[in-house]
Amino acid sequence: MAIGIVSPGFMGAALGGALRSGGARVVTTLQGRSARSGRLAEAAGLEVLGSIDDVTSAAEVILVVTPPGAASDAAERIADSARRTGGRPLVADLNAIAPTTVAAIEATLAAAGLDLVDGSISGPPPTTRPGARIYLSGPRADEIAALPWRDVRPVVVPGRTGRASAVKMCTGSVYKGVTAILAQAMRTADHYDVLDEVLEDLGDEADPGAVAVAATKAARFAEEMREIASAQRAAGLTPALFEAFSEVYEDIAATDLANGDPETTSRDVPPGEVARRLRRP
């Protein structure tokens, strides 16, 4: 079986590597991607093809792992490619997006004759820590669950597409919301020169290392916060909380701490350095 990865970032390349270890042929393209993506794809042993058309033609399944804000564009690229090439891969969107976004993506793909499996990822890449869960929903979810995963645990959520993404919108709101609160508290404490006292009082509740790693993904997290706000709005709840968290992450994305990569950023960065590098330029 040939499985395509769109695109081979930190998570996408790691998932591709997990499938390759299970015996699958895993293909991707670096067209329009950064040198960092090239390094990650090479480290994971992915087969690099020339273009998205090559991936759509070769793959029986395409896994889409992009920043949330790029998910719709990725679906359109795959749909356009399927029309050009006649390829009919099963597409699994694994991005952190709201169920309403899933519905729009499903319509885009259906117009090109492609089926969608809705998915979401909980946990770090398997190269960082084995055991990430991939939630899957929709009529063909079992097909993605049956792929030769290694160090990844697929979980089928029965029912329609959108349910797997709903899981992510709820769990991500807690995990990343708490990290945003801690980052905001550390920045405030740094301003008032009470960081040591604040962290001592918080004890095990505070993990400055998590803030350091999250900062490298702050731009992506800002997009995810907006998706969570949309999901909560559709549930009849106020979107204001996670719209504000989106602003928190957007602000963090403009700091020096955001300039690293998650795969090379240590969780052992001293709290004082984390706070210093979170200061506005």
CA dist 95 and 105 (Å) reads: 11
pTM: 0.95
Q: In what order do the strands lie in the sheet with 61-64?
A: 47-49, 25-29, 2-6, 61-64, 90-93, 116-122, 132-137, 152-156
Closest CA to 172 of 231, 103, 236: 231
pLDDT in tens, the chain (281 residues): 899 999 999 999 999 999 999 999 999 999 988 999 999 999 999 999 999 999 999 999 999 999 999 999 999 999 999 999 999 999 999 999 999 999 999 999 999 999 999 999 999 999 999 999 999 999 999 999 999 999 999 999 999 999 999 999 999 999 999 999 999 999 999 999 999 999 999 999 999 999 999 999 999 999 999 999 999 999 999 999 999 999 999 999 999 999 999 999 999 999 999 999 999 98
| Cβ–Cβ under 8 Å, residues 133 and 127 | no
